[in-house]
A and B are shown apart, each in its own frame.
Chain A
Amino acid sequence: MKGLLKRTLVFALAIIMVLSFAACAGPDTGNGEEDPYPKGTIEVIVPFAAGGGMDLLTRAVQQYFDIDGFGLTVTNMEGGNSSIGSMEVFHSNPDGYKILCSAIETIMGYNMGGVLESPVEEYTQIGTLVYDPHVISVRKDSQFKTIEDVIAYAKENPGKLNWGGTGAKGNNEMASAEFWKAADIEVNFVPFDSGSKTTTAGLGGHTDVTFCQISEIKNLADSGEMVPLVVFSADRSAYFPETPSCQELGFDIDNGLRRGFFAAPGTPQYIIDILEKEFKEVYDNDEWKNLVLTSVGFEPFYLNADQVTEVINQRYPIQRELLELIMQ
């Protein structure tokens, strides 16, 4: 009996050891010469818990990613509004064996939060694979039926409309501010510490409008519990064909989370080229596209490394201005 207990413990310990350390088994590259890459599996840090949008996206990519027989492993490293996992990659060896799943807007957010110094150089861009536009929605028995109702109410009662979003001084608030500026309204932004709390508060009527990404309310909108009023993409979303886009309202806004992959600063160009090519191949796979669109809830959207840099250069001054606006 005692032997069995001991064996069970030893066995459990062994399993845990293997599971924990298998993820860290990337080989280190000693010299700066063009070593053949990759020589092992590539670890993707997902800065959110298992089961979330970023995690599912990475795992969908994992199923199709294959460079010379080497694939991806996924490590969830949550906390600090994704900063813990992101910093882990930022401080890692620039050898291409530890990369980050994040969004362009999130990366710019660190920059402005004073965590990182320069807008383009802090991470080495690899590319984006999906776009998750922001959306403004209300619960089904709300007094607001259209976005015009919301704007009219906010104009009559400046600062009275409770506008729920996730995180303070972050992407949600900055993107909201872009809308407030365009519509010339003043509202009361209520920050929640997680997306599920934002939607719960909106559903329960504790806030007047809910600001989040399409993937976060897709299920609730399909069942009619929440009504999307306007999406922030340039065109209407494939998920909500009935809902107008910002452009239709005459606002020049195209904002959301462009999610993709980033490597540590200073990662050699030849490694980036290899990764970029493989991610593009995954993107071009229709099976993958279908999986992401139907199950995970993101619209496929490809940008290569240069295009990501371009978006950062174009969006950064705008984001900066918005941040100043909400800091007032």
Chain B
Amino acid sequence: MGTIDALAMGFSNVFSDPIIILYLVAGVFLGIIFGAIPGLTAALGVSLALPFTFGMTSNQGLTLLTAIYVGGIAGGLVSATLINIPGSPASIVTCFDGAPMARKGRPADALTLGSFASLVGGLISAAILITIAPQIAKVALAFGSWEMFAMGIMGLSVVVGLCSNDIVKGLIAATIGVLLAMVGIDPVSSAQRFTFGFWQLGAGFNLLATLMGLFAFAEILNQIKGLKLKAEPLKVEKLHVLPRKELLKGNSVTFGVGSIIGTIVGILPGVGQSTASLLSYNQVRQMSKTPEKFGTGHAEGIIASESANNACCGGALIPMMTLGIPGDTVTAILLGGLIVHGLQAGPLLFTNSQSTVGTIFVSFIIANIVMYFLLMGLMRLYIRVLAVPLNVLFGVILVMCVVGTFSVNHRLFDSWVLLGIGVVAYFLFNNNFPLPPIVLGFILGPIIETNFRVAIISSQGSLLPLLERPVAIGLLIFGLFTLVWPIMSKKRASKKQNVSAPCA
């Protein structure tokens, strides 16, 4: 009852004010640009727009912020697919299959599929948000430190799945990532770790700077080696409004799995889109009939990543709206946008400000639809990026990365981190160390470490309480299975012929 009223109010709020429609389209467009340019992120777009919303009505402001958020998370798939550099941290996993598919001469297929998966993910998470938000918010509360720890371990076991042809180097890379994440003030004891007297390192390595160093700068250094100044003639397949049927056939489960994992991860505070798409990718790979095709430009891989990262947005809105607790950095800024207009986030929002709730619901749905059509409509334009000579393109991307990392925290130090990590990553890559596990370690290491330590403190040093946590145990067993399965199946397969999963 209440939800239907809220939705009706939302529709009338959004469609009765032409300025809101304008903000919605402009916001998604801006978001896609921020998302697609490596170094600029959805979070940056939303935080730059926040002060402008103070002067707007609350409905206008929230619509604009939501639109930038949705566009920004989806936009990352463009550069991930076309140039194998994720436009934002959310799209790292899209590189694994999106870029290979584009390189095989099917960039339009990869982009259409990614955009479509984003749309489906967004809409499914919107449906969950609208129908059962208060109930599902309890998932966030049921997840204690043990469960978060187990989830981190499960995520880390993806390393083996990603790099089954050289597990040792994959594990070394993951360890490097965990060590990089340890730099800075330890949150559990407040001790300074690995800062070597640099106060600038107190907060550790900036996430964006590290990711862009690993994926953008190192990738550029790598591609420079074989740089051809003249761009190759571009052959683009025929464009379709919807992905071709062959790509969708038999993959409806994949859409569902990706969207649900994305939504659930979104609900958990401080986890984020990149983890969501990683977990979804891993899960889909486990369930797939053709796991060996992952990493070679496989449709399922793109769907898993892009449906999860956009579903994560809807998921992150759930605790923000129902409890007043943000699921990620962008929803933390949205929360500020609510507070400034005198709106109280939390359980009372649904009773006191139904109209606002409806506006957020409706603008989230419409933003996802607008996002799809903008991505499709602009495809002809941005697919031409492939025709830009690489020497020009790389220069521009590098500048954007440096400027982007600077603007996150207004510190030049972070830009140096980008360059330093990029050079190290280049040498690692050329010695056959895979880079994705480094990112996994960097993102999941702190989740595993702090939650394990907090859990141990809560239980006064005992490991036994873990046994009373069925969810945590289940996740750990699943993680173990992920670790052992590829090794087992590889042994079996090697008896027949040599098959190995590629290491992205």
Q: Taking beta carbons and an 8 Å cutoff, which residues of A are in contact with B?
A: 1-2, 4-5, 8-9, 12-13, 16-17, 19-20, 23-24, 49-52, 55-56, 59, 63, 74-81, 83-84, 87-88, 113, 115, 159-160, 162, 167-170, 188-194, 196-197, 199-201, 203-207, 219-220, 222-225, 294-297
Contact = CB atoms under 8 A, between A and B. Distances in A.
B233 to A, nearest CB: 14
Nearest to A50: B47
A59 to B, nearest CB: 7
Nearest to B336: A51
A74 B340 CA distance: 15
Contacts of B382: 5
A8 B30 CA distance: 11
Contacts of B51: 59, 74
Contact of A51 (B33, B50, B411): B50
A295 B343 CA distance: 7
B202 A191 contact: no
21 contacts: A13-B396, A17-B403, A49-B329, A49-B332, A50-B333, A51-B335, A79-B204, A83-B199, A83-B202, A87-B199, A115-B199, A170-B190, A192-B454, A199-B325, A200-B141, A200-B269, A203-B141, A204-B143, A223-B346, A225-B346, A294-B342
Main secondary structure of the interface of B (DSSP, over half): helix
Given A83-B202, A204-B144, A219 B345 contact: yes
Interface in B182-229: 184-185, 187-190, 199-200, 202-204, 206
A84 B409 contact: yes
B410 A203 contact: no
B399 A13 contact: yes
Contact of B407 (A19, A59, A192): A19
Contact of B410 (A77, A190, A219): A77
A109 to B, nearest CB: 9
B203 A79 contact: yes
A63 to B, nearest CB: 8
A76 B145 contact: no
Contacts of B387: 2
Closest 9 CB pairs between A and B?
Answer: A51-B336, A79-B203, A204-B141, A219-B346, A193-B187, A80-B203, A223-B347, A80-B202, A206-B144
Given A169-B189, A196-B269, A190 B458 contact: yes
A203 B385 CA distance: 49
Interface string B134-169: 000000111111000000000000000000000000
B3 interface: no
Contact of B346 (A50, A63, A220, A296): A220
B346 A16 contact: no
Contacts of B184: 79-80
